[in-house]
């Protein structure tokens, strides 16, 4: 979240998350849905 906040502070308005998502892609997608997306929707 902190790294994304830096991008938003620089003016980013569109972010795309995709490969590579690490050794466990399903876990990465779940983390994005649980932690990252709700944070930036608020």
pLDDT at residue number 18:
81
Residue 17 DSSP class: -
Per residue in 1-42, pLDDT (tens digit) is: 999 999 999 999 998 888 888 899 999 999 999 999 999 887
pLDDT at residue number 21:
86
pLDDT at residue number 41:
85
pLDDT at residue number 29:
93
pLDDT at residue number 32:
92
pLDDT at residue number 20:
84
Domain ranges, ordered by start, for the chain: 2-41
C-alpha of 18 from chain center: 10
Task: Compute φ and ψ for 18, nearest 5 degrees.
Answer: -160, -170
């Amino acid at each position: 979240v902190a790294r994304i906040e830096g991008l938003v502070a620089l003016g980013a308005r569109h972010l795309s998350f995709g490969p590579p998502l690490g050794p466990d892609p399903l876990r990465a997608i779940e983390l994005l849905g649980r932690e990252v997306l709700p944070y930036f929707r608020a």
